[in-house]
Structure 1
Amino acid sequence: MKKLLLGAGALLLSLNLQAAQDPEAVYAKACSACHSGNLPTAPKRGDKAAWEPRLAKGTDVLVQSVTNGLNAMPPGGLCMDCTAEDYQAVIKLMSE
């Protein structure tokens, strides 16, 4: 029984470590510096017209662009602890 409880505890801990970050928090700490209008080439949060051609490329392409960097955006987009899931969530947040 102890082994089962230890195994379940370890599983829950590992799931918590891989949980996505809050998109609002990621935006505030890493994305808003450029995507709030400070960098003219970065699409602003909520600017659907600016995000439309980017979204047309597909989420996987956008996540790859953030991961690798694109134009003025550095690799990781200033979020060094973000996962692909985090990037997807914050892209969704900014593009709505």
Structure 2
Amino acid sequence: MKLLLLAATTLLLSSMAHAAQDPEAVFNRSCGACHNGQLPMAPKKGDTAAWTPRLAQGMDKLVQHVTDGYNAMPPRGLCTDCSAEDFQAIIQWMSK
């Protein structure tokens, strides 16, 4: 019984781990148009000086901004199939 429970838990966790999309792929298809420097008010990927004050707001606030839209960013940041987990991973990837 314990082995069955362990196998089910492992399967569930592995399926959850694969639910997130690749941050770089999402950036290239949805975020890069603005976050590659074309839109001056959007923090550029890798610009730690621009990202530091944003990250200080907390990840929940940043994910909310992406989800709801913020300033010139449209709701969901043009990624209609992204989850909150995806947005978090993309923000972390862009801020480095």
Could you say which TM-score interval applies, normalised by the shorter chain? Answer: 0.7 to 0.9
Counterpart-to-counterpart distance in 2, 1:75 and 1:41:
16
Match of residue 22 from structure 1: 22
Alignment of 1:5-84 (within 5 A): 15=15, 19-84=19-84
Aligned length: 86
Percentage of matched positions with identical amino acids:
67
Counterpart-to-counterpart distance in 2, 1:81 and 1:91:
16
Deviation at 1:89, TM superposition (A): 0.4
Deviation at 1:94, TM superposition (A): 0.5
Amino acid at match of 1:74: P
Counterpart-to-counterpart distance in 1, 2:72 and 2:65:
11
Deviation at 1:60, TM superposition (A): 0.5
Gaps of 5+ in 2: none
Runs of 4+ in 1 over 3 A off after TM superposition: none
- With structure 1 as the length reference, what TM-score do the two structures score? 0.83
What RMSD in Å do the two structures reach over aligned CA positions? 1.8
Counterpart-to-counterpart distance in 1, 2:80 and 2:91:
16
- With structure 2 as the length reference, what TM-score do the two structures score? 0.83
